[in-house]
Structure 1
Amino acid sequence: MADIPSCSLEQADFRGWKAICLSNGFVTIVAVPDIGGRIMAFDLGEIPLLFIDPTLAGKLFTAEQNQGDGSLAAWKNFGGDKTWPSPQGWENDDQWHGPPDPVLDTGRYQVTGMEHSARAASVKMVSPPDSRTGMQITRKVSLHRGSSRVELELSFKNISDRLRRWSIWDVAQLQAEKTLPDGKLAPETSCTVTAPLNPQSKFPDGYWVMFGEPANPQWGVDREHRLVVAKYRWEIGKIGSDACAPDLHSGWIAFSNPRQGLAFTERFPVFPGEEYPDNGSTVECWTIGKGRVANLDYEHSDIYLMETEVLSPFYTFQPGESHNFQIEWGACRSAGPILDVQAGGCASQRLAVQATHNGVQLSGVFGAFDSGNLLLTWLDKTGEVSGSILLASVNPAELIEFDQTFRPPAGATAAELSVLSEADVELRKLGTCELM
């Protein structure tokens, strides 16, 4: 492990804000407590994934300025990633009336913990108590040596004297822009958000339109690959989906920027049978583009972004009670829209098999979340290992374009591609396919 960079943690200036920076040589995380405990950077190498509004960089506002007249135009949308209560609305006190929200969205969070070793680094930030929702939010972000995987631990605590009911809602804003030869910004229309199509979805198309035109060309379904798809076309709108993996107990949502060759992923638990907000949505995607929302018109703005939003089920909070929800981020190289996300990485081409005259040809295109070794495992019809081959070194900064021919051992009925992490010696799956 001598050649794997150690984790680092430092307090530093970031774009004019006081920040805590976590890094491990593959990814860098920047947390800014003073603007709602936001994560304002998640970079793969030197390339940023999260959106930052340059006109607000380094700025701080009073609670009164953050609230303004309470309209959306008054909201200080710094960018980055933040955590809110759901459902959102303005009809009654069981809905979160934001943004703007000068406490939970843009309040000054306190740093209550920083931990650092060669193997891991983390920072914990806690919001001011909010009398309107009765909640106090804790956000802890952790990264580990030799990996682009980041753990986001989110907690709500009821600080009021009555029963409360909320979902934990995390919102990441991803850069979806490109720079033209004349220096102007424009939408990067190759950017795509994908999520797995729920095999038991309550929605005919696997999603529902929450805002904007129902015929928005950005929204669609890829039934061949069993995906809900949002293709960035600089239209304003939002969809929700009850997306989950085929096992019904886990889910993921992924953003890809093929021009930059990057992917950002989020993995999270799903709880079948539990009630979710927004008509049963586990994930949502919001896009900034042409059109109006409330008193804002983005027609002539230079804001180009897509949001990936993850929601927990509703939790009932007794006074003093807390509930937690965990999301795992990943970042890696990508060759196109993400078709699958597993513990070891993501696929822009799933593992596939083709019979040849001297064996089987296995192919696929992947990004890995860990520095380590690519391992091919042969499985028999009972799922037991019948052989394995160590193939090549991999890491999050390099695309894996896999295309090799093998002669499977007798009795093998499936092939599984995994990454054996060099740092923690854990084996994490990339993909599986049945042999012909």
Structure 2
Amino acid sequence: MKLPIKYSLLLLSCGMFAQSYKTVSVVDNYNNWGWNNVLVAKNKFITVAVVPDAAGRMLQFDLGKTASLWVNPKLLGRKFAADDKVKMQDWRNFGGYRLVPIPVDNFAVNSNGEKTKRWPPPVIMGDSPYDAFVSTDAVAHQLINVSSGIQNLPVPVFDRTTNTFSTVLNYDEQLQYKRSMYIEKGKSLVFITHSLLNKGTTTIERGLKITSQHPTRSEPQLEDGQNFLAYIPISNKDVLPNGKSFEIMLTPQARWNFVNKNRKPLDKNNAEDVAKYFNSGTNWKGEVAPGVYELHYDYDLMGGVHFIAAKSWIGFVDKLKKTAFVTMFEPYNKKLNYEYGANAEIYNSGLETGYLETEIKTAIHTLKPGQRFDYNEIQAAAKIASTPILDVNKTGIITQKLHLTKDGIAHGAYGVFIQGKAIVIAKNNQGEIIKKRTLGNVSPLKAFTFDAYLKEEKAVATIAIYIKAAGDLYLLDSVDVTSN
């Protein structure tokens, strides 16, 4: 892919300060998808593919041969013009990793001139081709950069009564979205920065909803949604405007209507139909461990649940392949405004072949003309030995918290994001190291379970597990033994 001169210069200047570790290549007809100039970042653990012609979406994030993203087979190789006159049935959902400007309630205008919601969402940011280029930063990361065209708001709405689109007399907003991402050697981490720019002449209030669409079938024709799980941390201290820690955005009647319209005719006089479908879904498992909410996929359901994330992560698990994909994002800020009061959602989509969405939402920012806001997230992947996900940090996933048994056995179970050596360090009450042991090699491609006999160490006050890589220590988990 030939780069504009300014980007070629950027590559040259950055290369003068650091030796780049090549992670990105540009591939035509990657995976036989039909698109050219696909930007592929790869190391020995993960593969990330970004498709500029598919609205700059990330359509692949794999750990080894396990995929985290659903791709719509009906739209492979397709490109769509930057025209916002689209009907509901014209939604071009490529799958993968997408975004929507929020609030969604006011980015369209109806035939009465009133601000309203519209689905499909705005096309220039969501459907049409993005510009893309590769650059290298000052510390030698190869970055995949994408940017949308200018999204004018409000967008028109199709009126079925008149069979016409509403007329947009004035554009109140002009937005542009940009994203940069990179990976590193020896890690299953993807570092992402999102930017939303106000390109217009008036002050606006906007944010972003960023969504990963996950697969829900182990085989194309097999319905085994119970093996595809989502997790999010919750707390009674963090509540939505209704005073609850989470809210299922679906009524029994809505589920009934969806099944009756899209799956099969239902009969309210049939007790079996009522028992099975007149509910808000049986896949919302609720709190499966202290402070952790779980759900699995249901093929006969269209609806979601939203939260204030008690900790800044959300996760998806392919239980059959014992693989977890998580997103770490910016903490919830009580001083800022969030759409519906939530900064995270999980959505069960019954569209197409079905997919499960994990969604994060930025705060709604006030942007003056020319201003922007940036939002950072990290996506990561690891093999795990069990579920549920109990906690996540930048080193790995905790599925069994580090603890010391009555027999003096220290135990924990994890998935790790960093290749290296696991080390356990025990300290006394003065913070002095009294025991340090290397436990062996670890990598994202193998679940890590820790056991160590520490009964003879009567002075132990704290135990911590680290991953040592390239001379650095990364904390995975720790426990205060004196509080046990």
Q: TM-score interval w.r.t. the shorter chain?
A: 0.7 to 0.9
Deviates more, 1:156-165 or 1:384-393: 384-393
Aligned to 2:160: none
CA deviations 1:213-246 (Å, max 9, x no partner) are 473222243264211222223322111100122x
Structure 1 residues 91 and 166: CA distance shift in structure 2, 3 A: closer
Partners of 1:123 and 1:217 lie apart in 2 by 40
CA deviations 1:283-330 (Å, max 9, x no partner) are 1000123xxxxxxxx4xx5x1321111111121101000110000110
Aligned to 1:88: 104
Aligned to 1:42: 61
Q: Quick one: which amino acid aligns to residue 341 of structure 2? A: G
- Secondary structure of 2:223's counterpart equals strand
Partners of 2:433 and 2:150 lie apart in 1 by 52
Structure number with higher helix proportion: 2
- Residue 29 of structure 1 and its aligned partner are, at CA, apart by 0.6
Choose which of 390, 393, 397 in structure 2 pairs with 1:346: 397
Partners of 2:139 and 2:105 lie apart in 1 by 44
8 Å contact 1:119–1:145 — kept in the other structure?
A: no
Aligned to 1:361: 409
Aligned to 1:434: 480
Choose which of 139, 150, 163 in structure 1 pairs with 2:203: 163
Partners of 2:430 and 2:354 lie apart in 1 by 49
Relative to the length of structure 2, the TM-score reads 0.78
Deviates more, 1:335-344 or 1:113-122: 113-122
- Secondary structure of 1:103's counterpart equals helix
Aligned to 1:55: 74
- Secondary structure of 1:82's counterpart equals strand
Please say which structure displays the higher CA radius of gyration: 2
Is it true that 1:311 corresponds to 2:361 in the alignment?
Answer: yes
Structure number with higher strand proportion: 1
Is it true that 1:140 corresponds to 2:186 in the alignment?
Answer: no
8 Å contact 2:23–2:183 — kept in the other structure?
A: no
8 Å contact 1:85–1:96 — kept in the other structure?
A: no
Is it true that 1:285 corresponds to 2:346 in the alignment?
Answer: yes
Deviates more, 1:271-280 or 1:378-387: 378-387
Partners of 1:408 and 1:430 lie apart in 2 by 24
8 Å contact 1:201–1:242 — kept in the other structure?
A: yes
Is it true that 1:275 corresponds to 2:336 in the alignment?
Answer: yes
Partners of 1:131 and 1:285 lie apart in 2 by 28
- Residue 98 of structure 1 and its aligned partner are, at CA, apart by 4.5
Partners of 2:456 and 2:116 lie apart in 1 by 57
8 Å contact 1:7–1:117 — kept in the other structure?
A: no
Structure 1 residues 212 and 136: CA distance shift in structure 2, 3 A: farther
Q: Quick one: which amino acid aligns to residue 215 of structure 1? A: S
CA deviations 1:317-366 (Å, max 9, x no partner) are 0100011000011001023331111111102222232021xxx2122221
Structure 1 residues 189 and 271: CA distance shift in structure 2, 3 A: closer
Partners of 1:52 and 1:41 lie apart in 2 by 8
Partners of 2:201 and 2:75 lie apart in 1 by 37
Aligned residues between the structures: 405
Aligned to 1:248: none
Partners of 1:206 and 1:174 lie apart in 2 by 24
CA deviations 1:219-275 (Å, max 9, x no partner) are 243264211222223322111100122xxxxx1001111101110001112143233
8 Å contact 1:212–1:236 — kept in the other structure?
A: no
8 Å contact 1:68–1:74 — kept in the other structure?
A: no
Q: Quick one: which amino acid aligns to residue 310 of structure 1? A: I
- Residue 385 of structure 1 and its aligned partner are, at CA, apart by 5.0
Is it true that 1:175 corresponds to 2:193 in the alignment?
Answer: no
- Secondary structure of 2:450's counterpart equals strand
Choose which of 17, 25, 28 in structure 1 pairs with 2:44: 25
CA deviations 1:137-176 (Å, max 9, x no partner) are 0011110010001111000110000001112221111112
Is it true that 1:78 corresponds to 2:94 in the alignment?
Answer: yes
Matches within 5 A, 1:297-336: 298=351, 301=352, 303-334=353-384, 335-336=386-387
CA deviations 1:52-107 (Å, max 9, x no partner) are 0111112222334xx56431x21111111022211212586777644342200012
Choose which of 10, 24, 30 in structure 2 pairs with 1:9: 24
- Secondary structure of 1:134's counterpart equals strand
Aligned to 2:13: none
- Residue 43 of structure 1 and its aligned partner are, at CA, apart by 0.9
Structure 1 residues 165 and 387: CA distance shift in structure 2, 3 A: farther
CA RMSD of aligned residues (A): 2.5
8 Å contact 1:87–1:95 — kept in the other structure?
A: no
The percentage of aligned residue pairs carrying the same residue is 21
8 Å contact 1:76–1:100 — kept in the other structure?
A: no
Q: Quick one: which amino acid aligns to residue 377 of structure 1? A: I
CA deviations 1:20-72 (Å, max 9, x no partner) are 001011101100111211001001112221100111112222334xx56431x
**Unmatched segments (≥5 aa) in structure 2:** 1-20, 110-114, 154-172, 253-278
Deviates more, 1:111-120 or 1:213-222: 111-120
- Secondary structure of 2:125's counterpart equals coil
Deviates more, 1:228-237 or 1:133-142: 228-237
